[in-house]
């Protein structure tokens, strides 16, 4: 857990560089996200073992595991003492990654971000900001995994997993969510999007709800994305605005904004 032990030094540096006033609230999500910059991108790090078990890996991350680690660190950190212990971290990671916080096989993992977000809102540690702030809605189509079983060996090799996943997809399919359509997003973002918020990018890819995710970061008035990039194979802050990232990707349709609730 070298990320956790070196976290305080990095946070202190970043805070002293950015705090404009003594009274400024500590932004755990942003500070923890920044501590991951340059971490290598890791492919399918949660799918390595036969039995489903909690994978702790802060040495390489994908877009989802970056956000999960940052969120677990931020929730686990004691606001008074700023201490972070490994037990609290693993407890939060389990609550974030698994349906109702229970590890019970491959299909208990929250594979679709629509359910990942709903689970966090239900458990009380996430807030759906776009549901409050944006009037625009979209229906999520969810069938990607069972339509691409060759990409998911745990579904290909187990009829039981495949059946369970079909049921999970059927229950999620058609879920209506609030989002910001990409044409309405501006380079600056909106005043209600804060650095440290979780950004989930909706997609027109058939059967898929979310195509990518990361952490919002205001850089000199521009809304950018701190994310695990498959282009540069590491965690980085986007060089262009989030708006521009969406403009360049035809299948990305908009964003959901989700906030840690602590």
Binding residues vs ligand 2YP (CB under 6 A): 46, 62-65, 109, 111-113, 144-145, 208, 210-213, 228, 230
Tell the smallest beta-carbon distance from residue 156 to ligand 2YP (Å).
Answer: 13
Nearer to ligand 2YP, 11 or 65 (CB): 65
Tell the smallest beta-carbon distance from residue 19 to ligand 2YP (Å).
Answer: 31
Tell the smallest beta-carbon distance from residue 12 to ligand 2YP (Å).
Answer: 29
Please give the Cα distance from 136 to 177 (Å, whole number): 8
Nearer to ligand 2YP, 48 or 82 (CB): 48
Nearer to ligand 2YP, 11 or 152 (CB): 152
Nearer to ligand 2YP, 6 or 230 (CB): 230
Nearer to ligand 2YP, 27 or 140 (CB): 140
Tell the smallest beta-carbon distance from residue 69 to ligand 2YP (Å).
Answer: 11
Tell the smallest beta-carbon distance from residue 192 to ligand 2YP (Å).
Answer: 23
Six-digit token string for 248? 């360049």
Task: Count the Cβ atoms, other than its own, within 10 Å of residue 122.
Answer: 12
How many Cα atoms sit within 13 Å of 123 on the Cβ side?
Answer: 22
Tell the smallest beta-carbon distance from residue 201 to ligand 2YP (Å).
Answer: 8
Closest by Cα among 213, 209, 211 to 200: 213
Measured CA angle at 20 (ends 19, 22), to 5 deg? 75
What DSSP state is assigned to residue 150?
G
Nearer to ligand 2YP, 107 or 195 (CB): 107
Tell the smallest beta-carbon distance from residue 15 to ligand 2YP (Å).
Answer: 28
Closest by Cα among 125, 94, 126 to 110: 94
Q: Which residue has the tokens 């997993």?
A: 161
Measured CA angle at 102 (ends 99, 105), to 5 deg? 85
Nearer to ligand 2YP, 11 or 67 (CB): 67
């Amino acid at each position: 857990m070298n990320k956790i032990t070196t976290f305080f030094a990095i946070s202190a540096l970043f805070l002293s560089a950015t705090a404009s006033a003594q009274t400024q609230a500590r932004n755990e999500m942003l500070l923890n996200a920044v501590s991951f910059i340059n971490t290598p991108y890791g492919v399918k790090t949660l799918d390595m073992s036969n039995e489903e078990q909690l994978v702790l890996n802060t040495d390489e991350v994908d877009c989802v595991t970056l956000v999960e680690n940052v969120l677990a660190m931020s929730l686990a950190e004691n606001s008074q003492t700023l201490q972070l212990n490994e037990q609290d971290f693993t407890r939060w990671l389990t609550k974030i990654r698994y349906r109702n916080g229970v590890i019970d096989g491959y299909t208990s993992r929250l594979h679709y971000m629509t359910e990942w977000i709903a689970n966090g809102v239900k458990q009380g540690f996430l807030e759906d900001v776009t549901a409050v702030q944006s009037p625009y809605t979209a229906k999520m189509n969810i069938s990607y995994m069972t339509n691409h079983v060759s990409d998911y060996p745990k579904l290909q090799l187990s009829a039981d997993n495949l059946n369970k996943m079909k049921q999970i997809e059927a229950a999620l399919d058609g879920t209506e969510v609030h989002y910001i359509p990409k044409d309405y997003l501006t380079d600056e973002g909106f005043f209600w999007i804060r650095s440290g918020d979780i950004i989930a990018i909706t997609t027109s890819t058939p059967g898929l709800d979310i195509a990518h995710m990361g952490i919002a970061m205001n850089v000199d008035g521009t809304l950018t994305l701190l994310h695990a990039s498959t282009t540069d194979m590491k965690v980085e802050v986007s060089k262009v605005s989030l708006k521009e990232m969406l403009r360049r990707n035809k299948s990305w349709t908009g964003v959901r904004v989700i906030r840690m609730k602590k």
